[in-house]
Structure 1
Amino acid sequence: MKVDFLSVLCRSSDMERQVCFLLLLLAALNSASAGREERYQAAGGTLVMAPPYSGPITNILWKHNGNLVVQWLSSGLEYYGRFKDRTTLDTTTANLEITGMKEADSGLYTVEINFVAQDQEYDVKVIKNVSKPGVKPRPLTCTSDSESCVLVCNGDTTGAEPVTYSWRKGDGGWITEGKIMTIKNDEETRRFETFSCQMKNPVSEKESDPYKNPFSEKQDGSSVGLVV
């Protein structure tokens, strides 16, 4: 949408002016988020940020939440604060590498090249790898005589969010569902010998050991407890 069109619209009727201001607000929001990359990073891993810049570079300044990370000038290269000894700046490309990422390293990373703030920004969220889950039944004792049971994909998600859950019946494919899956004692369910669950976040994924289906035609009818 051209600026001259918006200018004309803003000088029109009250309704058109309201539309104009809304469009200007949306344009401002889009401009503010342009070039901002949301990135998840595994705790303890290495973060690499490569701003899209071509041409000769004479100076570089990286910031984290407005605080200095590293600065390169003709006078030399200097790293700051907790980023010392685990940060490497490529002065020919402005690429930045930070090892041993921690939760405190989450936040917005910005870069200035040749004293000009670049549009490319990195909104980094440092999260833990998911733990190995286990399938836990409800009630805790689920037998072949039960009408139905609830299976819970149980695992520690502290510091690992966002987490998604998937389930597998027997040797089938993974189906994304919630943390809880209800199984019924019917002919369809009895076809499967086991159930497995998987926890996944943007940096990792792990699956449980197979949980024996208490309703399977191949089970002996005894109670089935937690498999971890």
Structure 2
Amino acid sequence: MQLLSPSAMSLCTLCLSLCPGAVDTILYAQSGHEATLRPTIHGQPENIFWTHDGNKVIQFDGSEEKVYSTYKNRIILDWGSGDLTIKDLTPEDSGQYRLEVNIQGKLHSFLQDLEVAKPTISCELNDASGSEPRAMLMCSVGTKNLSASTEFVWKLLEEQKPGQELPISLGGKNDDEEYCCVVSNPVSAKNATFTAKDCYPGKAVLSEGCRFII
């Protein structure tokens, strides 16, 4: 096996520090609330630079910080860890955030996707005219780039069922049943509730918070 030369090893180390890594998870947050981006870096940052979809968010030069555009008065930067807290979130805050920091003279980068949205539940009627009408509920979060660690779980009164889809029965007392979908990953969790009778034509899709204890 051929060993790398010292110069080649230095080049690899530089690439690991400079080249952007893949985004492991999507951080879900609710409009009007706050979210904290927590980079996986080690050591005391000498300077910090956050961007959102290529636009400047905040810079810290080691002694003072500068906040840009619409983020003024609603972000908090932790100078020791690089953590960025964004308050009063809006859907426009969704997107990819990139952090660049210098630690002991080396440049490090971190990527985090933020999705400011609530889960929504839609319903597709299978057969509303039969004696036992049934329907299929679908839970989604309004993004096509779900990470592999994203989980969908339906919280029912006495059980839990994984997956985005849930078959349900309609008619009679079944129409008053409530179904709660929880979308989670290692960094966040959001939920929505749907009442079975809203499956019928002319009913709106609901996405209120779960009423069950989760």
| Higher RCO structure, 1 or 2 (CA under 8 Å, sep 6+) | 2
Q: Say if 2:34 is the partner of 1:38.
A: no
Deviations 1:26-70 (A, max 9, x none): xx99x9664744222213232212333323x44322222333211
Q: What residue number does 1:82 align with?
A: 70
Q: What residue number does 2:80 align with?
A: 92
Deviations 1:47-102 (A, max 9, x none): 212333323x4432222233321112256321012221211112233221111233
Does structure 2 retain, via aligned residues, the 8 Å contact 1:69–1:79? yes
**Larger % of strand: which?**
2
Tell me by how many angstroms 1:199 deviates. Answer: 2.8
Q: Say if 2:136 is the partner of 1:152.
A: yes
- Give the letter aligned to residue 101 of structure 2: E
SS state at 2:70 partner? helix
- Decide which of 101, 111, 119 is 2:100's aligned counterpart: 111
- Decide which of 200, 206, 213 is 2:182's aligned counterpart: 200
In the alignment, the residues of structure 1 paired with residue 43 and residue 178 of structure 2 have an alpha-carbon distance, to the nearest angstrom, of: 49
- Percent identical pairs in the alignment equals 13
Does structure 1 retain, via aligned residues, the 8 Å contact 2:182–2:191? yes
- Give the letter aligned to residue 123 of structure 1: Q
Q: What residue number does 2:113 align with?
A: 124
RMSD of aligned Cα (Å): 4.1
Report how many residues are paired: 173
- Give the letter aligned to residue 43 of structure 2: S
> Structure 2: 5+ residue runs without aligned partners?
6-14, 207-214
Q: What does residue range 1-20 of structure 1 map to in structure 2 within 5 Å? A: 4=2
Q: What residue number does 2:10 align with?
A: none
Tell me by how many angstroms 1:140 deviates. Answer: 2.4
Deviations 1:162-206 (A, max 9, x none): 6947485xx5412235535276xxxxxxxxx85654333333123
- Give the letter aligned to residue 179 of structure 1: E
In the alignment, the residues of structure 1 paired with residue 138 and residue 24 of structure 2 have an alpha-carbon distance, to the nearest angstrom, of: 32
Q: Pick closer, same or farther for the CA change 1:141–1:180 going to 2, 3 Å.
A: farther
Q: What residue number does 2:61 align with?
A: 73
Q: Pick closer, same or farther for the CA change 1:177–1:151 going to 2, 3 Å.
A: farther
**TM-score normalised to structure 2 length:** 0.58
- Give the letter aligned to residue 142 of structure 2: G
In the alignment, the residues of structure 2 paired with residue 140 and residue 82 of structure 1 have an alpha-carbon distance, to the nearest angstrom, of: 48
In the alignment, the residues of structure 2 paired with residue 66 and residue 85 of structure 1 have an alpha-carbon distance, to the nearest angstrom, of: 20
In the alignment, the residues of structure 2 paired with residue 177 and residue 38 of structure 1 have an alpha-carbon distance, to the nearest angstrom, of: 18
Tell me by how many angstroms 1:5 deviates. Answer: 6.5
SS state at 2:25 partner? strand
SS state at 1:111 partner? strand
**TM-score normalised to structure 1 length:** 0.55
